[in-house]
Amino acid sequence: MDCYFFAIAGIAFLGGSIMTLSISEKQHSKIQQVFSKDLANKYERIVMERRAHYLIGLSVGMLISFSLIYTFNKPLSYFYHIIFFLTITLGTALIIYFLMPKSDYMSRHLKTKKEIQLWAEINNQMKYRYIFGVLLGIVAAVLFASVLC
């Protein structure tokens, strides 16, 4: 039972994370066209801050995962250790990312209708990409777990 839970959760988190690693070239071009230089710089600063939050979460998650694996050193399969590590690490990263205070929000700086529409488009696309990645991860996890758990 635990193996299936950790497989589905860990691989789903991994799928969502991979799908939202970066924006497309098309979106990047739109940002350059629609956002002023100052607004594009603010966007980059916000992205860097959010990336730092996620990396802090990954670091804390890895420490927790290694600690738990070391503390409860049971003779389990290699696959189980990997999915346990993924679930704890990526789950912790998400929790920390959402809980860490943000110094700025892009929506505070948007003035024109085009800027607001572009930001809504980017924000929605990232949400859909994350959900798609999670769903794809769940499908992959069910296949892996049915064989390896």
Compute the C-alpha angle 63/10/13, nearest 5°.
95
Task: Please tell me whether residue 110 adopts helix, strand or coil conformation.
Answer: coil
Given phi > 0 = left and psi -120 to 50 = alpha, else beta, which region is 24?
beta
For residues 114-148, one letter each, b for 16 or more C-beta atoms within 10 angstroms of the residue's C-beta and e for the rest, the string is ebeebbeebeeeeeebbeebbebbbebbeeebeee
The model's pLDDT over 66-103, given as tens digits with 9 standing for 90+, comes to 999 888 877 778 888 899 999 999 999 999 999 999 99
How many whole angstroms separate alpha carbon 88 and alpha carbon 94? 10
Contact indicator for 69, 85 with CB cutoff of 8 Å: yes
Concatenate the DSSP letters of all residues of 41-97 into one string: HHHHHHHHHHHHHHHHHHHHHHHHHHHHHHHT-----HHHHHHHHHHHHHHHHHHHH
Helices 2-19 & 113-148, crossing angle to 10 degrees?
150
Q: What is the pTM of this model?
A: 0.84
pLDDT number for residue 14: 93
The model's pLDDT over 9-57, given as tens digits with 9 standing for 90+, comes to 999 999 999 998 877 778 888 888 899 999 999 999 998 999 999 999 9
The yes-or-no verdict on residue 1 having pLDDT over 80 is no
Residue 102 gets which letter from DSSP? P
Amino acid found at 122: I
The model's pLDDT over 95-149, given as tens digits with 9 standing for 90+, comes to 999 999 999 999 999 999 999 999 999 889 989 999 999 999 999 999 988 888 8
